[in-house]
Structure 1
């Protein structure tokens, strides 16, 4: 479905010079429209059913920012607030399709059948909140919030191909950047600005205090947790566990740099099920790297 662009900001005020590093240049087209294009002056919007809206609301409560939510498990690397403020976070992520055991489970990013019509494929998503998901926020474009600007990349699009353990790696470059002139937070994929979260949504987000990379899973309490990432633990082999490479942050001087190991901490609530490792700057074709994921299983509540 296409929708006509309103009079919104169509590009950030800063100049974006994103360096794209992928093993396969065709990866750029794993998201969004490929053969078909929207008419000039319009943007693609994923058609959402009433049931998907209801299920999305239920799912969205599972993304509470607090780590002690029943059924939610996390394996994440984050830069500690001691080094804030942050104005940009970036990384190149390997995309997998982790196996779920039931249709009410989720593994991010993002396999969530209950909000995609029962489909267990991998989707590109984003979500927002201003009050830890109490009264505000939603996935993708299911409520007013994110402003779509790109003519063929869009939130809620299905990933056309995924990585294979021990084989090909399908990657995407994610960047979230604050436009300090407008206070809008822009989402960029493969050097393309997909759209932004308007600064007016947030009363106190003129910078970020905590940024990071990793994954989460959800399963109903007292059930077996699904896989995260490739389904394998980090082992510093980049055709095994899911990864972010070329991770970087931006400080108040607009300097982009990869965080050193002493700047980061890991949050892993059950290391028997999942793990996350920051390897630091490994140079070469990966730069500053993390891996995360695991097989899931009996992870507790």
Structure 2
């Protein structure tokens, strides 16, 4: 890619996901068993630009794009593993309810890629401008009838986390939206989002809009105030405000972010 990292087109049946010990006999699922919540977006005619994917081409039929892991990636993953309770240098994606397994990004196997163009690990080429053009995208995470959790981006299914990876997600009683930063202990934290605190101006701080969750019958609900809790582990560095339903094009929305700095661990 033009950012210097390498993306390989891997046989869909030989992708890293199937190195996971829980997926040795996993049967590949090509499509989810539900209708997409969002229609596929023509990014050429939309203000929502594609930010994950191969620049021009797509992988040949029967293969999927996988970003190649480098030594620096593994070092970074190891640092996160040593400094965060949710990240351990073991295979799995929180397969034991956060006790020992799990990782950020895709540095441990488990996510099954099905899309031949879009992939995770791509660099964000364009970002929002404070008080200017906002760059945003549409993402959903949905459990299908087989219990697999599908990631949908701009109306396209990217792939899924198989149900066998999780011990506590037969049903879900909590969902969350927000941001996270991570650095080695006793070092300044980077900014979160745009680097600005929430102020009810959606051209300033980072935001989620039109958020919702579904029940078993696929009915969408926006979180009411009495359903929600906000968590700010260091209010001097980061903030989050939930506005419930503000109508128009924003619906149920929240803002988050902050300056970072000396925030502790």
TM range (shorter): 0.7 to 0.9
Q: Is 1:150 the counterpart of 2:115 in the alignment?
A: yes
8 Å Cα contact 2:83-2:184 kept in structure 1:
no
Q: Which runs of 5+ in 1 are unaligned?
A: 67-126
Q: Is 1:52 the counterpart of 2:52 in the alignment?
A: no
**2-structure distance, mates of 1:224, 1:55:** 16
TM-score, normalized by length of structure 2? 0.82
Q: Is 1:136 the counterpart of 2:101 in the alignment?
A: yes
8 Å Cα contact 2:79-2:184 kept in structure 1:
no
8 Å Cα contact 1:65-1:132 kept in structure 2:
no
Q: Is 1:43 the counterpart of 2:64 in the alignment?
A: yes
8 Å Cα contact 2:205-2:256 kept in structure 1:
yes
SS at match of 1:243: strand
Root-mean-square deviation over aligned CA pairs? 2.3
Q: 1:40: Cα distance to partner?
A: 1.2
1:10-30: CA deviation from partner (whole Å, max 9, x where unpaired) = 1101111315799x7263422
1:183-232: CA deviation from partner (whole Å, max 9, x where unpaired) = 10111111111000001112331122221111112233333222111000
TM-score, normalized by length of structure 1? 0.73
**2-structure distance, mates of 1:133, 1:212:** 16
Q: Which runs of 5+ in 2 are unaligned?
A: 1-7, 14-26
Q: 1:296: Cα distance to partner?
A: 1.4
SS at match of 2:229: strand
Identify if the C-alpha distance between structure 1 residues 63 and 174 changes in structure 2 by more than 3 Å, giving closer, same or farther.
farther
Q: 1:288: Cα distance to partner?
A: 0.7
**1-structure distance, mates of 2:199, 2:40:** 25
**2-structure distance, mates of 1:269, 1:183:** 32
**2-structure distance, mates of 1:139, 1:270:** 21
